[in-house]
Amino acid sequence: TRFGHWLVTDNTVFPDGFNDYMNDVLFSEDISLCESVQQGLRSQSYNNGPIMIDPKHSGISEIGVQHFHALVQKALANDDENI
């Protein structure tokens, strides 16, 4: 069973064929991508971790995401001290 949820305003008008495109094209692509990622996670080349960090900062790294998460974690830790 598959459910789709859309967060839209009450007066949103969807283009013709929207549901068919979502169901027949986009969701199928998502399934293929997720299956491919799962195969990659089982490979010997995968280094376990939630974020891909390239020490050489080649541009494919998620170093910005890591920095943002660290800022949020620090802010939350500081907030706990004020409770």
What are the structural domain ranges in the chain? 18-81
Q: How far apart are alpha carbons 37 and 65 in whole angstroms?
A: 19
80 confidence band (pLDDT: 50, 70, 90): low
pLDDT (0 to 100) of residue 49:
72
pLDDT (0 to 100) of residue 71:
94
9 confidence band (pLDDT: 50, 70, 90): confident
**Helix, strand, coil percent values for the chain (each to nearest 5):** 50, 0, 50
Q: How many CB atoms lie within 10 A of CB 27?
A: 13
Where is 37: in which H helix or E strand?
helix 27-41
Give the N- to C-terminal CA distance of the chain in Å, as an integer.
44
74 CB burial (10 A radius; 0-12, 13-18, 19+): exposed
